[in-house]
């Protein structure tokens, strides 16, 4: 399911959401021109939290810094375009109910929750070798946005391409619960068979989503707007 837009307006321009998108693309362009070793240096490594790291992973920034820098890095065009599409569609309404500064704090906190969830799963199930693989991407922080959106706007309508080509309107509740169930299923699959996970940190998605779902009321200061009328 590929989301394209929803039917919920905002009170004002979502500057933080747009700023995060610009920042992610700026870092991606830097990645395209940087040496691989330099990129790996700024990634997040689960082993950095617990030690020891193996091989090239030993040359990493401290894990709190790596959590933030890794949150703005991506592995491919498909990776960043998919992440930024989800942030563009769902981030503006979450920012609207929180305000700009609260939303930025929430977004970064969601990224930390996601990274630490992935760390626990990797260390518990996979050991030092898997924990020494760099982790990059905004997916965990964006998953927190999705969890918050589910609480705020479960009855919103999301215009979606089913199977990549069939246009359809789905309730946000159905879309996001289906997305979460898939991540939950895949996170267990990737934990028990990490070599078959396709390089995706599914546990980070689960951790970020749960954080957003539980923390939204701590950050919310106003209700979302009503849906646009057709």
Tell me the pLDDT band of 224, cut-offs 50, 70 and 90. Answer: very high
Could you read off the pLDDT of 12-63 as tens digits, one per residue?
Answer: 999 999 999 999 999 999 999 988 778 888 999 999 988 788 887 888 889 9
Could you read off the pLDDT of 167-184 as tens digits, one per residue?
Answer: 889 999 999 999 998 888
Residue 229 has pLDDT above 70, yes or no: no
Return the higher-pLDDT residue of 187 and 13: 13
| Continuous H helices in 8-46 | 15-33, 36-41
Mean pLDDT, the chain, integer: 90
Residue 198 has pLDDT above 70, yes or no: no
**Section 66-92 average pLDDT:** 96
pLDDT of amino acid 185: 80
Global pTM reads 0.92
**Section 90-108 average pLDDT:** 98
Q: CB within 8 A of 178, min separation 6: which ones?
A: 1
Query: Nearest 5 degrees, angle CA 77-CA 193-CA 75?
Result: 15
Q: What b/e readout covers 77-111, taking b as 16+ CB neighbours within 10 angstroms? A: eebbebbbbbbbbbbbbbbbbbebebbbebbbbbb
Q: Which residues pair with 6 in a beta bridge?
A: 158
């Amino acid at each position: 399911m590929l989301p394209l837009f929803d039917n919920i307006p905002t009170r004002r321009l979502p500057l933080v959401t747009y700023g995060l998108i610009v920042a992610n693309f700026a870092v991606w362009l830097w990645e395209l021109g940087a040496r691989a070793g330099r990129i790996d240096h700024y990634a997040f490594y689960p082993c950095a939290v617990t030690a020891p790291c193996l091989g090239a992973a030993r040359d990493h920034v401290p894990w709190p810094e790596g959590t933030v820098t890794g949150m703005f890095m991506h592995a491919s065009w498909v990776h960043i375009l998919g992440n930024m599409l989800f942030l563009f569609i769902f981030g503006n309404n979450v920012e609207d109910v929180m305000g700009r500064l609260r939303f930025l704090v929430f977004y970064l906190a969601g990224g930390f929750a996601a990274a630490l969830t992935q760390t626990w799963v990797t260390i518990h199930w996979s050991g030092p070798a898997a924990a020494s693989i760099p982790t990059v991407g905004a997916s965990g922080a964006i998953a927190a946005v999705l969890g918050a959106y589910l609480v705020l706007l479960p009855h919103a309508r999301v215009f979606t391409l089913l199977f990549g080509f069939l246009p359809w309107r789905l309730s946000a509740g159905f879309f996001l619960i289906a997305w979460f169930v898939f991540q939950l299923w895949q996170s267990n699959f990737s934990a028990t068979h990490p070599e078959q996970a396709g390089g995706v940190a599914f546990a980070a998605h689960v951790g970020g989503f749960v954080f957003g779902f539980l923390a939204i009321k701590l950050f919310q200061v106003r209700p979302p707007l009503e849906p646009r009328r057709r």
